[in-house]
């Protein structure tokens, strides 16, 4: 009987330790893999007099894969596609006169993200990224029904950039989270190459979600030991 009691206590103790271990292991624990599926939409419009106006619309898609090297520290690689269009209307009457600028960029780079847990559901985040981009751009002048491509403002573009972004993560389930950027600081250097004529343009931005769309949201799935167990 004594042996049975001792054995029972050992089993209960082992189960208690195991349960505690599972409860203390979170999505951002060391050894987990994070799969991010992010997208962003940005739209701005300036209409000072109801006739001339400027409208810019951009959409980006940013998947990434990260690994938790230690608790609450993620290192990873990212990939992105950005498509944007700026419509600049000079006159709408008696004849429509405007220009359209379209560009598509492919981005890839590396990043490091630090999580600062507030409780079981919310964490503050700080992420630093560095990447390269390449793409094309095209400018069209439109007068009435006539469209003319401006060759001096059409060609290839490439660049390098880095940023530090601050955000918030919400984890409603052990292995699933929603993340969004709140503010950031970044630097971009882009080179436009219209018809073989190099024209380097350096741009420095300070503000909200630099190098990312103003409205951005990441869906994150975590892969790791015990995360999908109830």
**Model confidence pLDDT, tens digit, residues 135-179:** 888 889 988 888 888 887 888 888 888 888 889 999 998 899 999
List of E strands, the chain: 33-46, 53-70, 73-91, 97-117, 122-143, 146-149, 155-173, 176-193, 199-207, 215-223
Give the pLDDT confidence of 199-210 residue by residue, as tens digits.
555 555 444 444
Cβ proximity of 145 and 160 under 8 Å: no
Q: How confident is the model at residue 219 (pLDDT cuts 50, 70, 90)?
A: very high
Over residues 17-63, the pLDDT tens digits come to 444 444 467 899 999 999 999 888 777 777 766 666 788 888 888 89
CATH number for the domain running over 2-223:
2.40.160.20
**pTM above 0.75?**
no
Alpha carbon distances (Å) from 118 to 20, 121, 180: 20, 8, 16
Per residue in 93-107, pLDDT (tens digit) is 788 888 898 989 999
């Amino acid at each position: 009987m004594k042996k049975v009691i001792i054995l029972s206590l050992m089993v209960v103790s082992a189960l208690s330790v195991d349960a505690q271990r599972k409860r203390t292991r979170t999505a951002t624990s060391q050894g987990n893999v994070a799969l991010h599926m992010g997208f962003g939409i940005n739209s701005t419009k300036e209409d000072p007099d109801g006739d001339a106006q400027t409208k810019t619309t951009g959409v980006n898609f940013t998947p990434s894969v990260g690994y938790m090297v230690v608790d609450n520290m993620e290192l990873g690689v990212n990939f992105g596609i950005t498509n944007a269009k700026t419509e600049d209307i000079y006159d709408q009457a008696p004849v429509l006169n405007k220009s359209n600028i379209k560009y598509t960029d492919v981005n890839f780079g590396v990043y490091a993200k630090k999580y600062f847990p507030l409780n079981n559901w919310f964490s503050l985040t700080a992420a630093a990224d560095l990447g390269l981009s390449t793409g094309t751009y095209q400018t069209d002048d439109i007068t009435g029904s006539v469209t003319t491509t401006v060759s001096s403002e059409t060609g290839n573009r490439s660049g390098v950039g880095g940023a530090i972004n601050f955000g918030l993560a919400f984890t409603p389930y052990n292995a699933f989270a929603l993340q969004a950027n709140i503010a950031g600081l970044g630097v971009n250097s882009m080179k436009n190459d219209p018809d073989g004529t190099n024209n380097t343009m350096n741009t420095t931005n300070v503000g909200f979600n630099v190098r990312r769309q103003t409205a951005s949201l990441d869906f994150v799935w975590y892969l790791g030991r015990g995360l999908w167990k109830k």
